[in-house]
Amino acid sequence: MPKVTKEDALLYHSRGRHGKIEVIPTKPYGTQFDLSLAYTPGVAFPCLEIQKQPEDVYNYTAKGNLVAVISNGTAVLGLGDIGAMAGKPVMEGKGLLFKVFADVDVFDIEIDEKDPAKLIEVCAKIAPTFGGINLEDIKAPECFEVETKLKEMLDIPVFHDDQHGTAIISGAGLLNSLEITGKKIEEIRLVVCGAGAAAISCSKLYLALGVRKENIVMVDSKGVINNKRKDLNKYKQMFVTERDIDTLAQAVRGADLFLGLSTANILTKEMLASMAEEPIVFAMANPNPEISYEDAMATRNDLIFATGRSDYPNQINNVLGFPFIFRGALDVRASTINEEMKLAASKALASLAKEPVPASVLKAYNTDKLTFGKEYIIPKPLDPRLISQVASAVARAAIDSGVAKYPIKDWEAYRKSLDKRLSSHIKSIGEISGI
């Protein structure tokens, strides 16, 4: 893949119609009669129907396929607190990915408000517009409060992707890595380097998958989170270790898994060398991981290595999750995205990586072969099977767990509809782009 330069990026975002997304009409508008139906007087009829039966909003408006990507710009990518407006390109990008991968429409909404209580209030007041809310780039620990409160207040899916997306994708990678190495999830020892939103959520999902809490050691910028620390918030307190260790070097010795959600080059070659046989390293600091791919490979030949980058094997990228999770949740009108749905997404991703890879995917990644193993533990983002596999799993989990308002009866027809939705959308993109 060519190196991304500042000039290329700025040109991409500014050329032609500025930005990356637009709103287009879905109904005819070429005649006076069309316009009379679209607005006045015809629009009054669906308004009155919705007044009588609020659920009819899903029949007469775009609500059921519309997600709000909401941020206050306090934790944008690896850039930090750069403000709501400066974070808008990221939110537009999220909208593009929602549309391209799962045909979900998005309004990106940047809110200039750092007070979590006020942010919650704003989100709750605009919620009637949307079928779901994707919270994005809100710093910890405030993000936990915002998501938790909104989930309590609203009857639509609310999902903070920075927390759960990374957890779901890396959870799939963990399941497959353990299968490859023959290790048992209840026996592995793991080190979580970082204690922000993603790290906390990953750790909680891993517990749900079968990891034992006593086998987790979490490390933040001040050292190991242990019972000597008096500066811990309630989220970090959940992962206090009883082991008498204080440093990352001590923590990784003999560990089976290193989960990095921290900063570049913090895991040394010596630390990696001290880990258990066939270690698993998820080094996901961006743009530069906790240890470089080159250094890791030069240190151990028995490891499974993943990053958040697209130029190395095993990219753990949230795009494998959020479009399809919302697709499934929207399609059954789920009132929330619960733990059952998250686990279903992880397991669906893990399962897909074991299936033969279509020729179209091999061509997209300019390779002759992708086979389940140490360099292929999770599917590629351009795999067209993701929408039917993951969205179906999420939808089924929503139904089984009792949070779906619109159950699916014919699953084969639903999966075919997902494939058709994607192929039709890709065709329309090609026509727009002239390809």
Catalytic one of 20, 27, 29, 39? 39
pLDDT digits (tens, 9 = 90+) for 114-171: 999 999 999 999 999 999 999 999 998 999 999 999 999 999 999 999 889 999 999 9
Residue 422 is predicted with a pLDDT of 77
pLDDT in the model for residue 77: 82
pLDDT of residue 421: 84
pLDDT by residue (tens digit) across 398-407? 999 999 999 9
Verify whether residue 94 is a known catalytic residue: yes
Domain extents for the chain? 22-163, 165-307, 318-433
Pairing label, strands 223-224, 216-220 = antiparallel
Q: What is the CATH number of domain 22-163?
A: 3.40.50.10380
pLDDT at 430: 45
Which class for 87: exposed (0-12), middle (13-18), buried (19 or more C-beta within 10 A)?
buried
pLDDT of 56 reads: 96
CATH code of the region 318-433: 3.40.50.720
Kindly give the parts of the chain with pLDDT less than 70. 1, 424-435
Q: Which of 173, 155, 115, 158 is nearest to 139 (CA)?
A: 115
For residues 205 and 175, give the distance between their C-alpha atoms in angstroms, rounded to a whole number: 12
Q: Given the residues 94, 99, 151, 183, select the one marked as catalytic.
A: 94
Q: How far apart are CA 252 and CA 304, in angstroms?
A: 15
Q: Is the domain 165-307 a CATH 3.40.50.300 member?
A: no
Q: In CATH terms, are 22-163 and 165-307 the same topology?
A: yes
* Burial (CB count <10 Å: 0-12, 13-18, 19+), residue 115: exposed
Positive or negative: CA dihedral 114, 64, 22, 391: positive
Would residue 60 show up in a list of annotated catalytic residues for this protein?
no
